[in-house]
Structure 1
Amino acid sequence: MTADLSRRHLLQLMGLGTGAAALASIAPGLAWAQAKDTVTIAWPTDVPSWDPNQRTFPDGQALFKLIFEQPIMQDPQLKFVPGLFTEWTTADDGMSLTFKLREGVKFHDGSPLTSRDIRFTWLDRVKESLAGGNKLDQANTWKNITDIELAGDYAGTFRLSAPLTTAVPWLAFMANFVVPEAYIKSAGIEQFRAKPIGTGPYKLAEYQVNSRMVFERNEDYWGDKPAIKTVVVNIIKDPSARAAAMQSGQADLTVNIPVRETERLGKVPGLAAELNPIQRVVLLQLRNDLATADQNLRLALHHAIDKAALSKAFYGGGAVPLSVPAPPGTAGDVPGFVFPYDPEKAKSLLAASGFGPGKPATLKMATTNGHFPSDFDIARALVAMWKKVGIEVELETIEYAKYFELNRGGQLPELTLYSWENATGDPEIFTGYLLNPKMPFSPWRGEQPGDQIAKLFVETNTEKRLAGYRDLNKFAVEMGATIPLLQSVQTLVRKEGLGYRKFGNGWVLAQTMTWS
């Protein structure tokens, strides 16, 4: 019945008028933001730093990939393909990876890329971080690395003290970019972060924190040179302001504005709008303490959520409701398993813990506003759904960058609305990191399902490992350790004459853009 809940009904439920999202009037017609050898992008977030190994920061990937490159890359269908490694082989026991490095590649300062830069990036920097030096998220993945044996300037072997069955996916994923040993050692880490260099298709020419960055094409790039010479990225955190920048012609492309604004802008002459399902999961992260130490409350929160209504109201039905933290068709999906929307079940669970009409459960939730499409609207709709079953939730809006600080400091509230990226699709990088108490990526710190995850991290039999993650996903949801909501959807608006290569994980890479 409530699956037919309309967007208008949800907005009324949240106390929003139909004009709440309206933009101020803007002069009709579109002015081209730049010349045809330039593209201007309105982007929602800045990078946390220009050290690409420092943070697993999803929205920074498209920016990092302009300057830096990875040993292994992914094609638009997310297949792993050669990057700076031309070949690689992993041992059956997961204890080593042998590689051949691409020859003739140069960093932006003209120095050659060699296997010593690989050793520096994945061994020296990791060891420094683990010893208490410059802290890098990259070290969380590679903490069991013992050596990188070099076989000349263009080959070598990673050695590990414990299996890392996801070594290949991680070499193509966040916080795993090659950095220049000689430049960092001579200039120092602070100079590197101020004036970063890599082997990528663009050089950073200008940078103003939380405001603007300009990239110029690397004319000595080893691969196919981009068609666009200059890329201007304006950091515009407010989604309505990004929409306004598109309508006024101040930007050529933007992402992650509300669906209703995407649909509206798609009707503006000269603009094209897209709604693309991507390999991210919109979910609620939970703490295993405070109010959510109560399993009945955690499960009541989940049963009270009408996910189909959320999809219909905020994504036009295009966001697939999820019962486990894995998109449909990926290895961690559990076909046939459905966690039901059941408000009466939610009420009975609350009653079992002593909550009722005169004594509502109370807790807090954090959400971003503009990090992914309709995030704030979804949060308010959730609060309204919970109120109907007897749960009072105080909503707090936080900056996307603030989320990482709060999470690492153990300061997030009981609930956090978040979009979890996993460009690789491997279930270890979904649930294995999402609920691992030994990793800094989740507020959940419980022994369960952490003990199960620890066993799967060292399982080298692929069939057993993937089956184990499917069992784990179902178990984690049934115990209320995580509340998956929807497969994430990327909204994108661009000038009609601007083409780009579409990736299944939502990467929007300027090096693939062309003007017609």
Structure 2
Amino acid sequence: MKKILGLFLLLVALLSFGCSKQEETQNKIDVKNRNTVTLAAYRHLAPGNKDAYYCSKILGVWEPLITRDENGLPAPCLAEKWEMQDEGRIWIFQLRKNVYFQNGTKFNADSVIANFDRMKKGLKRSNFYSLSLPLYYPSLSRYEKLDDYTVRLIFKEPNINELYKMTDFGSPMFAPECFDDNGNFKEIAIGTGPYKITENALNKYVVLERNDNYWGEKGKIKNFIVRNIPNTDTRYAALKSGEIDGVLDLNAIPPFLADEIKKDARFAVESNKSTMIRYLALNNSRFPFNDIRMRQAVSLAIDRKNLVDALYLGYAEPTMNVLNYTSPGHKEFPLAYDLEKAKRLAHEVLGDKRCDITYCINGAEPLQKGEAELIAYWLQKIGLDVHIQSLEYATRAKMLRKGDYDIARLQKGLANGDPYEVLNSFLMPTGSIYMSSHTGYQNEELQRLMQQVKHTVDEKKRQQIFDRVQEIAVEEEPLVALFNDMNIVAYNKRLKNYKPLIYGVDLSKVELAEEND
């Protein structure tokens, strides 16, 4: 434990003095107006015209047909009601009436058809999640307007889980006038949400203005400015100085700084579950991780609870399962930490020899280095000598695609609520994570089950299949799950109702505290 604490304190010290002076002076915006709330994220939340969504759902600019409730289950948004027919081969959606896009045009069935036409043009990439018809609407053969507020989707195969696929990033709706002939945004995205974009300075800030014609409950704040401040310490300093009112999005504030800011009576910190899972990709296609015993040894040698307590101060949930705990299909497994068994399994593979291992991390995420050093300390006890490589995102992604690595620290969020999409991505040879990580894992039973669940209508049977798939993944460890994130937000108490959701913050609910207290 002393070793763990030492690594943690060293990491804190390094981060505390690593502030970038250049970032402190950039993005100067006049925010003296009390009706303007300024927030910050580590990335720019409106990447712009070339992004499939133009901006993150967090900003409240666009809305989907189907959203998620607090339990991650499908809930109405722009689609008010729906009906499944013919075991999921047909889905009929009743659209919400009296909804207008931010440019004044009416939202109706023609708008939905135009957005489906756009998705049909091919894969649109994004800083958030990719967008295409095959990705979220597999086996879709036809989509059609039945009347001004009714749309029908017809599939070649039963598609009982379609609602889960459509949640949030699976069914974004934009004003058709937004798109050029290739389906890209001409200018600023126009949605139906409670806020509209009035200015977007790429990689600097985005300005939001309340949509006073919003169909639902109007936003309480007239204007938001959401700044891009990549450096952790700079965001923290901006919050402490009053330059910003709060932080949001992934990695909004690391746990050790969250604990620090709680000591200041001017600020509050709150957390919720997050859709993000953090895990280790193991290169199953080469020695030693082509042997199941070594993958199991790695998993058993990692004390997940100790890691979460030491580095994340409890702001994370240790797990054995690569399916995130906000997914409706998630199965809970007891944590397994057994160093002696790990040593025995590793010895069966390595004998009396030791093995050099390359462990790739994302250099842009500060906590990953301390985490890797701690895991390397545990793995050296089972005969693995770990060499940590801190890489830029693009360089690391290229190495993974080529299979030029042994271990890589990765993460994945839930684009929607469909368990199949995530498990397929991780575990099937055609899955996006599988291919991009050059995983090389094969299991005939798992592949057969994943094909079976695509055509299983009964919900109870579907869950049984998903449970078995997760059991196989936990047993054979093609990927080593570490922990589920928590969505941590910190904010000045001049704000009220600044509550973390499982993804982001509902900006329309945020108020200025002094106006009502």
Tell me if TM exceeds 0.5.
yes
Query: Alpha-carbon deviation of 1:77?
Result: 4.4
Change (3 A) 1:91 1:9: farther
Cα 1:288–1:48 change in 2 (3 A) is: farther
Q: Deviations over 1:54-112 (max 9, x none)?
A: 37x9x93313xx21110012344444332111111123512121011122222222222
Give CA-to-partner distance per residue, 1:228-282, whole Å, 9 cap, x none: 1111111122222221221121111114322111111111131112243334332
2:466 aligns to what SS in structure 1?
helix
> Take 1:297 and 1:254, find their aligned partners in 2: how far apart are those partners?
40
Aligned to 2:236: 243
Offset at residue 408 of structure 1 (A) = 9.1
When residues 114 and 18 of structure 1 are mapped into structure 2, their CA distance, relative to the original with a 3 A threshold, is closer
After superposition, the Cα gap between the structure-2 partners of 1:25 and 1:426, relative to the gap in structure 1 and judged at 3 Å, is: closer
Distance 1:318 1:293 in 2: 33
Answering whether residue 34 of structure 2 is matched by residue 36 of structure 1, we say yes
Residue aligned with 2:34, SS? coil
Aligned length: 491
In structure 2, distance between residues paired with 1:285 and 1:201: 39
Local SS of the residue matching 1:228: coil
- What residue in structure 2 maps to residue 29 of structure 1? none
> C-alpha distance in 2, partners of 1:461/1:205?
47
Q: 1:154 to 1:141 in 2, by over 3 A?
A: same
Q: CA deviation at 1:375?
A: 4.2
The CA deviation string for residues 117-137 of structure 1, in whole angstroms up to 9 with x for no partner, is: 212323x234321799xx835
Taking a change above 3 Å as real, the CA distance of residues 48 and 270 of structure 1, as seen in their structure-2 partners, is closer
User: Which residue, 142, 145, 152 being the options, matches 2:147?
Assistant: 152
Residue matched to 2:103? 109
Equivalent of residue 224 in structure 1, options 206, 212, 217 = 217
SS of corresponding position for 2:294: helix
Match in the other structure for 2:318: 321
Shift in alpha-carbon separation, 1:172–1:136, aligned structure 2, 3 A: closer
Alignment correspondent of 2:410: 418
Q: Which amino acid aligns with 1:417?
A: R
- 2:425 match: 433
Instruction: Read off the aligned partner of 2:488 and give its amino acid letter.
Output: T
User: What's the offset of the Cα at 1:34?
Assistant: 4.5
3-state SS of paired residue (2:314):
coil
Q: How many Å separate the matches in 2 of 1:317 and 1:324?
A: 18
| Structure-2 change in CA distance of 1:172 and 1:425 (3 Å) | closer
Q: 1:34 to 1:318 in 2, by over 3 A?
A: same
- 5 Å-filtered alignment, 1:96-495, equals 96-122=90-116, 124-129=117-122, 136-137=131-132, 139-185=134-180, 189-192=183-186, 194-255=187-248, 256=251, 257-291=253-287, 292-326=289-323, 331-335=328-332, 337-338=333-334, 340-354=336-350, 356=352, 358-367=353-362, 369-370=364-365, 374-398=367-391, 402=394, 406=398, 409=401, 413-422=405-414, 426-442=418-434, 443=437, 444-448=439-443, 449-495=446-492
* Contact preservation (8 Å) 2:220, 2:508: yes
Instruction: Specify which of 477, 493, 497 is matched with residue 494 of structure 2.
Output: 497
Q: Deviations over 1:324-348 (max 9, x none)?
A: 234568654445x435212222222
Percent of aligned pairs sharing the same letter: 22
Instruction: State the AA in 1 paired with 2:336.
Output: P
Code of the aligned partner of 1:243: Y
Cα drift, residue 148 of structure 1: 1.1
Query: Would you say the 8 A contact 1:76–1:501 is kept in 2?
Result: no
**Contact 2:36/2:223 (<8 A) preserved:** yes
What is the one-letter code of the residue matched to 2:158?
A: P
Alignment-derived partner of residue 60 in structure 1: 56
Which amino acid in the other structure matches residue 223 of structure 1? G
Distance in 1 between residues matched to 2:504 and 2:200, nearest whole Å? 21
Distance in structure 2 (CA, Å) of the matches to 1:407 and 1:165: 37
User: In structure 1, how many angstroms separate the alpha carbons of the residues matched to 2:86 and 2:119?
Assistant: 24
Distance across 1 between alignment mates of 2:259 and 2:471 = 36
Query: Could you list the per-position Cα deviations for residues 356-397 of structure 1 after superposition, in whole angstroms to 9, with x for gaps in the alignment?
Result: 4x52241332336449xx444323322222223222333334
Give every structure 1 segment of 4 or more consecutive aligned residues whose post-TM-superposition deviation is greater than 6 Å.
none
SS at match of 2:115: helix
Shift of 1:468: 0.8
Distance in 2 of aligned mates of 1:175 and 1:398? 31
Give the secondary structure class of the aligned counterpart of 2:350.
coil
Q: Distance in 2 between matches of 1:263 and 1:119?
A: 48
Give the whole-Å Cα distance in 1 for the aligned partners of 2:442 and 2:136: 20
Quick check: 1:498–1:514 contact (8 Å CA) kept in 2? yes
How far, CA to CA, are the matches of 2:505 and 2:391 in structure 1? 24
CA contact (8 A) 2:48 2:202 kept: no
Query: What is the CA distance between 1:469 and its match in structure 2?
Result: 0.8
Alpha-carbon contact 2:487-2:502 (below 8 Å) kept: no
Distance 2:420 2:49 in 1: 25
Q: How far off is 1:472 after superposition?
A: 0.7
**Superposition CA RMSD, Å:** 3.3
CA spacing shift, 1:91–1:452, aligned 2, 3 Å: same
* Range moving further from structure 2, 471-480 or 35-44: 35-44
Give me the whole-angstrom Cα distance separating, in 2, the residues matched to 1:42 and 1:121: 30
Deviation at 1:24, TM superposition (A): 7.7
C-alpha offsets along residues 170-201 of structure 1, whole Å, 9 cap, x if unaligned? 22232430123344147x64543x42212222
The 3-state SS of whatever aligns with 2:83 is strand
Which string of whole-angstrom CA distances, capped at 9 and with x for unpartnered residues, describes residues 445-494 of structure 1?
A: 53434443232222221111111111111101211212122231222110
* Counterpart contact for 2:426–2:432, Cα < 8 Å: no
